Amino acid sequence: MPRPKFHKDSRTPKQVKVDVKAEAEETYGSPRAPTDQYQHFIPRFILRRFQVGPVKSKVERRKEFRRTGVDPEYIHYYDIATGSLDSRPIGKVYGVPNLYQDVRNVENVNELEEKLAGLERQAASIIEDMHRALLNGTFTLTRRPLELLRKFLFVMHYRNVSCSSTYFQVDHPENAKGRQWIESFMKAKGIQSAVETWLYFLRYYLDTSHSDIMQHAAELIEKHGEDLEKMITGSFIPSDLERFPALSYHVQANGNFFSIWEAAEGEEFILTHDAFGLWEGLAGDCPGLHHIFVVSPRIAVVLCSILLRPELKDRLKLLGPLKSSILHANPAPATTIYASGKESIPTNFDHPTSLERYRASQEGANDSFVFKITKLSRPQTLEFNSV
């Protein structure tokens, strides 16, 4: 049994190889009605990397379930409320019944769950390749797979059950400045609740490509100019601004550089209910030096504030003292190899839409990004797990 970590929920003893072809949300059968599902906010393909015991193929799992009626996959789960560490079925943790069920979609109430499964399949393949690259110490992606992975990470944070009822809750204290926009939007769309609004924009994020979401945000930036800062902080949101949530996506994508962190030998990253998008670190009063996404016991993807880029560190000092328990990891931004052979993007950075048009182009699609994998020491790994 592994050392219990007094953290949010779970820890497991070893890494396992994942069958990527079986990574869509999988159910073994249920006495419930066909539209009634236990829906994970942390996908099975990630949970399986924390699995206890031998790894079984999809065929073996289904055969054993038909024989015993018991989910054959387990993880160690630490319940902070009771102080107990036990084994629980993967099919019954990190999920909620009918979490993504859209009752407004009378033809298929579980369509969003199916769309999430499609995104998960694509992300699982990339994350599998990432694990294969650990021995080399570097990992290379072209622009489209990197964009897909960024979209997966954003959706992983947004889809969490903790966001479902509060993200657009009109009387939530953190939504006070955006209340008028939320109420106007719900009225215009005939939406009755915060959860329905959350599902509406989950559909937008799933149905819209990374490039198009970024283009929508760039158009808002160019249109509203000086009001942008007020829009981002929520103090001024025009009632007719339907695509305003594209800005949240844009801020995460453009405001952070992508890095890959590996746990020390003999140590593992732990998985918690909020292990996707959990922010850490302050620069003065500015939060979010790091956004953490644990994808396996071996790997965490960390989105680091662009203020941590070497060329911006002088500016960072102007914001005030840094407060971060994982700042010493010091990951490097990716090395970009442009398909044109040039050293920079041939576009006008003063116009956000021009930059996004390049990124969406075929030439931009062929750009490559080489990531140096940041290998943590044992003390650094333990510090990371304490966040």
Q: What is the b/e burial string over 246-274, where b = at least 16 CB atoms within 10 angstroms of the residue's CB?
A: bbbbbebbbebbbbbbbbeeebbbbbbbe
Which pLDDT tens digit goes with each residue over 315-344?
877 888 889 999 999 999 999 999 988 888
Structure confidence at residue 257 as a pLDDT band (50, 70, 90): very high
pLDDT at 54: 78
Question: Left (φ > 0), alpha (ψ -120 to 50) or beta: where does 330 sit?
Answer: left
pTM equals 0.88
Residue pair 312/319 in contact (Cβ under 8 Å)? The answer is no
Q: How far apart are CA 326 and CA 338, in angstroms?
A: 31
User: In terms of DSSP bridges, do strands 276-283 and 322-323 run parallel, antiparallel, or are they unpaired?
Assistant: antiparallel
Work out the angle at residue 222's Cα, subtended by the Cα atoms of residues 216 and 228, and round it to the nearest 5 degrees.
Answer: 90
DSSP state of 334: P
Tell whether the model's pLDDT for residue 193 goes beyond 80: yes
Write the secondary structure of 263-301 as one string of H (helix), E (strand) and C (coil): CCCCCCCCECCCCEEEEEEEECCEEEEEEEEECCCCEEE
Which pLDDT tens digit goes with each residue over 110-131?
999 999 999 999 999 999 999 9
Between 57 and 359, where is the model more confident?
Answer: 359
User: Tokens 């009605």 identify what position?
Assistant: 33
pLDDT at 255: 94
Instruction: Using DSSP, state whether 83 is helix, strand or coil.
Output: coil
Which pLDDT tens digit goes with each residue over 168-182?
999 999 888 888 889
Residue-by-residue DSSP string for 122-136: HHHHHHHHHHHTTTT
**Residue 168's closest CA among 145, 191, 135, 143?**
191
Amino acid sitting at position 161: V
Tell whether the model's pLDDT for residue 26 goes beyond 80: no
